[in-house]
Copies of this chain bind each other. A is one copy, B any other.
């Protein structure tokens, strides 16, 4: 029985052949995500992986259903595995915003699901860090979110030589479109054409733009120049004051596909251009109002960062740490009459917070020692009985091969001193 296509098993390291997804690397990424969000004062939340289908069709239209894992449950409810987190967090904030001081700064890293053709860097599920800020319309909030995105990537060892945040503005494009007599009702249609320009043949883009009353040359020139409009200059200045100027560049080629963005938008890319976008986000000031059916009105912005492209980038840049040494101490049991004392020792060392392994059954001593080396343990411990019948513990440092024998009740202190 195999797993479903597009889904992943995460194995502990060292990884089996043909199983590329490491639970250790995943957890390393999760830990950096959580720790960086914490430093920025963001608080963690989570929502259900299964939601009413309407939550997504209301926001993105019925055409999104083709990409969903949706079904009718046993209570006749139309439901869907969550394809993104923003509708869920907008619902949660709309429900409970009165309990929180503004701005609300929240993060989560849900697993998300899309029924898509599986391909490199694009599976049917991924984990996505979502950081969102609610209740602040000032561009200072946009700068805070972009700074967090930069520091999340830096926390994984990536530098300004590895990635850049391409910063753009829906308002800038709105003004561009209006200045050329574009029909405001067709603005989103226009954004979608711009969004596809880098991927589509020029003739196709040109024809679509012409139908909207805009020339491809004009659009290309606006992107090429990418002159910072005032709303972007404020964000650039703010990031500059933080010393993060080298991580960001204005690029109107970024516009984002989703309908709900209303202001600044941005994407993180590796500088070599080898991967898909690492992360993307922007301002969506109307979404809470829409999801709450007009009850709550809060400006909002945020970003999402998936684990798949990120893991591939970290591997390519040799930024995956070693996960050896999860076991710190191995207790050797070479004399089965000392098993009870050895078990007592195992328990004591574990209670002191140390990761301990030992053989569950009678095993040759050299085999146990070899296993300790394979595990990358720091020390081995061995209970020894003196001539008088008291028990002591021999501690061996596996790096230096130094040994010492200490009374049983002094093991924890001796290990703490040696560590």
A1 CB contact (under 8 Å) in B55, B71, B237: B55
Q: Of residues A26, A49, A244, which shows the largest number of chain B Cβ atoms within 10 Å of its Cβ? A: A49
- Inter-chain CA distance A137–B98, complex, in Å, is 56
Q: How close is A347's CB to chain B, nearest CB, in angstroms?
A: 4
Stretch at the interface among A16-24, A185-193, A201-209, A253-261: A16-24
- Inter-chain CA distance A38–B24, complex, in Å, is 12
Q: Which residues of B contact A24 (CB under 8 A)?
A: 43-44
Q: Which residues of B contact A44 (CB under 8 A)?
A: 12, 23-24, 27
A275 at the interface (CB under 8 A from B): no
Chain B residue at minimal CB-CB distance from A67:
B74
Query: Provided the pairs A51-B3, A111-B49, A374-B101 are in contact, do residues A43 and B242 lie with their beta carbons within 8 angstroms?
Result: no
- Check A92–B11 contact: CB distance below 8 A: yes
- Check A4–B244 contact: CB distance below 8 A: no
- Inter-chain CA distance A88–B11, complex, in Å, is 12
A residues 315-367 near B (Cβ < 8 Å) are 326-327, 339-341, 343-344, 346-347, 350-351, 353-357, 360-361
- Check B111–A243 contact: CB distance below 8 A: no
A396 at the interface (CB under 8 A from B): no
**Identical chains in the assembly:** 2
Stretch at the interface among A138-146, A173-181, A403-411: A138-146
- Check A39–B356 contact: CB distance below 8 A: yes
- Inter-chain CA distance A339–B38, complex, in Å, is 22
- Check B79–A50 contact: CB distance below 8 A: no
A9 at the interface (CB under 8 A from B): yes
A136 at the interface (CB under 8 A from B): yes
A32 at the interface (CB under 8 A from B): no
A19 CB contact (under 8 Å) in B38, B96, B341: B96
- Check B41–A7 contact: CB distance below 8 A: no
- Check B74–A9 contact: CB distance below 8 A: no
- Inter-chain CA distance A52–B2, complex, in Å, is 8
A163 at the interface (CB under 8 A from B): no
Q: Which residues of B contact A81 (CB under 8 A)?
A: 50
Q: Of residues A40, A47, A48, which shows the largest number of chain B Cβ atoms within 10 Å of its Cβ? A: A48
Chain B residue at minimal CB-CB distance from A330:
B41
Q: Which residues of B contact A125 (CB under 8 A)?
A: 48-50
Q: How close is A211's CB to chain B, nearest CB, in angstroms?
A: 32
- Check A45–B9 contact: CB distance below 8 A: yes
Q: Which residues of B contact A141 (CB under 8 A)?
A: 360
A106 at the interface (CB under 8 A from B): yes
- Check A69–B50 contact: CB distance below 8 A: yes
A46 at the interface (CB under 8 A from B): yes
- Inter-chain CA distance A3–B48, complex, in Å, is 8
- Inter-chain CA distance A77–B343, complex, in Å, is 49
Q: Of residues A10, A52, A98, A293, which shows the largest number of chain B Cβ atoms within 10 Å of its Cβ? A: A10
Chain B residue at minimal CB-CB distance from A43:
B12
- Inter-chain CA distance A26–B54, complex, in Å, is 28
Q: Mark A216-239, 1 if CB is under 8 A from B, else 0.
A: 000000000000000000000110
Q: How close is A345's CB to chain B, nearest CB, in angstroms?
A: 10
- Inter-chain CA distance A113–B242, complex, in Å, is 45
Q: Which residues of B contact A350 (CB under 8 A)?
A: 39-40, 151
Q: Of residues A14, A16, A293, which shows the largest number of chain B Cβ atoms within 10 Å of its Cβ? A: A16
Chain B residue at minimal CB-CB distance from A71:
B71
Apart from A17-B99, A38-B326, A241-B340, 5 more pairs, CB < 8 Å: A4-B73, A5-B75, A15-B99, A138-B360, A241-B341
22 A–B pairs (Cβ distance < 8 Å), ordered by A: A3-B48, A4-B48, A4-B52, A4-B79, A9-B46, A9-B48, A11-B99, A12-B45, A15-B99, A16-B100, A19-B95, A23-B45, A24-B43, A39-B350, A40-B355, A40-B356, A49-B111, A147-B347, A241-B340, A241-B343, A242-B346, A243-B344
